[in-house]
Amino acid sequence: MLSLALAVKHLPREAALVSEPGLYWVSLTKRNDMLLLAASLLTALPANLKTTLVCADDEQDELLAMVPDEAGPDQISLFSLAPGRRGADLKWLTAELGRSGVNTGVLLLLLPATRVQMKGGRKKAWALSLQVWASRHGLTMLVLCHGQEQVLPATLAGQVNGLLRLERNDNSIQLRVDGWRNALGLLAGVDYELLLKDGRFAVRPASVAQHDSAHNEKGVLIQRAALEHMPAPAADWQIMEPEEDFWQKAITASEGTLVAAVESNEELTVLAQRIHSLRRFRGPGLRLAIRKLYPCLREVEQDLLLQCGANLVIPSGVSHAQFLSLLHCLPGQRWQRPSVGDIEQLLRRFQPPAASGLLSPREFYRYVDGVFRAASGEIPHQLLALPLRLGLNAELCLSQFNLRRQGDLACLLDDSCYLFLFACPDEAREAALANAFHLPWQELFSECRPLFDTKMLPRQRFEQDQQRPALAYETPSEPAFASRQRHFGRRPFYLNVREQ
């Protein structure tokens, strides 16, 4: 088995060991930092290891001058990046490497971020193709990419062998582990503070101690859905499925971290009751996090979960590394809020109407008026009038609705759309409108007029109209493409080859 280490002194083995073939990508903001790390890597490699270096000509000479003559591999196959390519040649990288006989050992590629010109989705697909190719050939590919842009998204953590970022901020040097997989497992969401000592990066001792203290003594119990298809990062994580098994196991825990998932605010009542029971019977030592799989909870609904006993509500859309970073903040915390006495009374205050989406004007008025009549002023709501833009088809506008949360309602009356957003404060109105429609609301409606009560609506007109909108969707026809022939010519990726 290959057993190398990322050349950073005092970096724990779980974050430094390179033991499997595949792609290890390190982003660096400074070119000089890239050369320092590359020189340390080459210096630490065994003398008999087959090694390949690919970089620009000027960086090649500068880097080799930094490696002592008595250190590093006895032979290094050198390849130069063709200048001025702007990334068009990267798609031929694996083919050119294979043609040149590079298929084992260690490959070190130094790459400016500006050279990777592919769009987001293509960058991800390209990186995954490098991972597959390197794994299949038993090759360890270390890419050091310098520039202000973060070329690969953090969501690739766990899909490629390594994804690190080395950043400089206000005279400090941070090494962020988005994901690092080796024989010891998967490490993600960990930061180390570095320093430069004798021309080599090293971890500050306090940073190592902080990482060690981040581990939970009692482990983690997590719903499988909350991992979102990612592997568990440590052996002491218990993954439970189905949901009932998770809660049955959770009721026996008094310490450690529990992570539950939520994907709809229709789950809110049951979830709040379960959290309240856990906190009531197991005490304040339990650390409980709720991960939103979709943007399904309003701010007041998140606050309800925190009142019932949750320590943390994790937003939807965060990367796996960010998710683990948030969990690392929990050890040592104890829940210190006042305990909720009457959970049913609290739930009634936060209960949205038992409907969602497009309704008839009569249904809309009945539900919304019921909310306003029962309101105590504790929870703000949004009642909005949205006149359709002149010439736009009403059915087209209504087809753009994206109302997923229970209690968010809409109807159409007299060429105006009326929208009700339950438990939405004024400052969240624009964000809520952005989520409520597939297109920007300004493209569909001439204005957005807030109404402060159903008393401002023409009640008689609403009660007379019982017709719920019926949307007829046409199956889009296949787009017509102009016939064209594409001719791709192979262009050399490298300018020269020489043995060092």
Give the neighbor-by-neighbor strand order of the sheet with 237-240: 237-240, 220-223, 257-262, 287-292, 312-314
Q: What residue spans define the domains of the chain?
A: 4-205, 220-348, 354-464
**How is residue 410 written in tokens?**
């809409």
Q: What is the pTM of this model?
A: 0.49
pLDDT in tens for each of the 500 residues of the chain? 456 788 888 888 878 888 889 999 999 989 999 999 999 999 888 888 899 998 888 888 899 889 888 888 888 888 887 766 555 467 778 888 887 888 788 999 998 888 887 765 678 888 888 998 898 888 999 999 998 777 888 778 778 889 999 988 777 888 988 888 877 767 777 788 899 888 889 888 755 434 433 334 468 999 999 988 787 777 778 999 888 889 988 888 778 899 999 998 889 889 999 999 888 888 888 899 999 998 888 878 888 898 899 999 998 888 887 888 888 888 878 887 877 777 887 787 778 888 888 999 999 999 999 989 887 667 889 999 999 998 888 878 878 888 878 889 999 998 899 999 998 888 888 888 988 888 889 989 999 999 999 999 999 999 999 888 765 433 333 333 322 232 222 233 443 444 44
Q: HEC states along the chain? A: CCCEECCCECCCHHHHEECCCEEEEEEECCHHHHHHHHHHHHHHCCCCCCEEEEECHHHHHHHHHCCCCCCCCCCEEEEEECCCCCCCCHHHHHHHHHHCCCCCEEEEEEEEHHHCCCCHHHHHHHHHHHHHHHHHHCEEEEEEEECCCCCCCHHHECCECEEEEEEEECCEEEEEEEEEEECCEEECCEEEEEEEECCEEEECHHHHHHHHHCCCCCCEEEEHHHHCCCCCCCCCEEEECCHHHHHHHHCCCCCCEEEEEECCHHHHHHHHHHHHHHHHHHCCCCEEEEEECCCCCCHHHHHHHHHHCCCEEECCCCCHHHHHHHHCCCCCCCCCCCCCCCHHHHHHHCCCCCCCEECCHHHHHHHHHHHHHHCCCCCCCEEEEEEECCCCCHHHHHCCECCCCCCCEEEEECCEEEEEECCCCHHHHHHHHHHHECCCHHHCECCCEEECCHHHCCHHHHHHCCCCCCCCCCCCCCCCCCCCCCCCCCCCCEEEEEEC
Instruction: Tell me which residue has tokens 């080599």.
Output: 200
Looking at 3.40.50.300, 3.30.1340.10, 3.40.190.10, 3.50.50.60, the CATH number of the domain 4-205 comes to: 3.40.50.300
DSSP state of 9: B
Domains 4-205 and 220-348 share a fold: yes
Query: Which CATH code fits 220-348?
Result: 3.40.50.2300
